[in-house]
Structure 1
Amino acid sequence: MRQKEIFLAFLRVGLLGYGGGPSSIPLVHKEVVQKYKWMNSDEFSDILALGNALPGPVATKMAGYIGYRVGGVLGMFNALIASVVPTIILLIILLTNLQTYKDEPWVKGMAEAVVPVVAVMLAVLTWGFVKKSGKSVLGWRWSAVLILGSFILLEVLHLHPAILIFVLLAGSLLKKNSNEGEKKKEQKNL
């Protein structure tokens, strides 16, 4: 039963994720977090951050990891096939047919109409992440600093997102390790 759910979840993402990774992420979130409840939003955020830091398409990496986590090796292959094969088939069919009509206004309009919809889907997902980070241990002040700092580094200074994610992950790991070291010293002194 679980393999069927994995297949259907990622098949929907593969069929409806028009526009690539950015448009697929909210769909994966809807399936994995809201519908099947295989993980919570915090875990999803961690997977998304790591997936963005690694090379390759984010939707495929997320499908592989989530499929593996939920259904083992078979689940991983199941999720990958379900998310990739529909895209391959649709790509062959659509590109073959759209090439004939590429200069038609309805084809251009169809492609342009998807962009604002994807932007809204990403904005809704982003706002959910912002609310969560504000209510987390960081609080609103540090969340705002990180959001503003990330925006400046990514958009103004054109830093690669993987570098920013790696630095933040390394910083939090180092901070966690230093906090554990301090706790051990305190326990020794007691």
Structure 2
Amino acid sequence: MNHRDMFYAFFRVGMLGFGGGPAAIPIVEKEIVEKYKQMEQKEFGDMLAIANTLPGPIATKLAGYIGYRLLGTAGMINALIASVFPTVLLMILLLVTLSSFRDYAWVEGMTRGVMPVVTVLLGVLTWGFFAKSKQDLGWLYALILLGGSVLVIQGFGLHPAVLIAALILFVFMKRERPKAGEAG
């Protein structure tokens, strides 16, 4: 991937990611994993989990990490500018234009029409991660992990970042231990 491709990829994310960072996640995944094939799905999922634990907007965290990983500091700056520029430009144009039209029903309807699209995009992304978990762990463990996560987050009020960090630590510790009879 070169700087031009990086800019175009994240510019498209910035232009099409209407609805905030969560709406941009499937678009980033489509660009980086599927179109440019710069990352495997598992690596993208791991990176997304880590990025979700950090403060700030998810779209810029993804752009910064991917840009840095693929093209160094210049790539990070390129990806960040490309992902933020459309938003800044559109905000200026929309604020000037829509402020005079905000009371019209079609503007309100257009805004409400975007929500189902974002919901479907997030659902497709979630199903893809769940299917990958099923493939790696099997249905039983994937369902246990899903149910346990919902229970811990909703039932006990644990912040998702703490749960993600704990699961990453658990997986890391499990993979690092040598099995009986193996040389350490």
Provide the residue aligned with 2:142 in structure 1. 143
Shift of 1:99: 2.4
Secondary structure of 2:28's aligned partner: helix
| Map of 2:114 onto structure 1 | 114
TM-aligned CA distance change 1:108 to 1:36, over 3 Å = same
Alignment of 1:47-126 (within 5 A): 47-126=47-126
Kindly indicate which of the two structures has a greater share of residues assigned to helix: 1
- Residue 166 (structure 1) aligned with residue 165 (structure 2): yes
SS at match of 1:159: coil
Structure 2 alignment gaps of length 5 or more: none
Query: What are the superposed Cα offsets for residues 68-110 of structure 1, whole Å, 9 maximum, x if unpaired?
Result: 1111111111100000111111112212322232222111111
Distance 1:167 1:95, change over 3 A: same
Percentage identity across aligned positions?
51
Task: Flag the 1:188–1:52 CA change in 2: closer, same or farther, 3 A.
Answer: closer
Structure 1: segments with no counterpart, 5+ residues: none
- For residues 102-159 of structure 1, the C-alpha deviation after alignment (integer angstroms, 9 at most, x for no partner) is 22211111111111001111111111111111111x2211110011111223344443
TM-superposed deviation, 1:160:
1.7
TM-superposed CA distance for 1:188, in Å, is 5.6
2:152 aligns with 153
Measure the CA separation in 2 of the matches of 1:61 and 1:78.
13
Which amino acid counterpart does residue 151 of structure 1 have in structure 2?
V
1:121-136 maps to which residues of 2 (within 5 A)?
121-136=121-136
Number of the residue aligned with 1:8: 8
Q: Give the match's secondary structure for 1:101.
A: coil
- In structure 1, what is the Cα distance between the partners aligned to 2:121 and 2:158? 24
Separation in 1 of the partners of 2:42 and 2:167? 16
Deviation at 1:170, TM superposition (A): 1.5
Q: For 1:108 and 1:102, locate their aligned partners in 2 and report how far apart those are by CA, in whole Å.
A: 7
TM-score by length of 2: 0.93
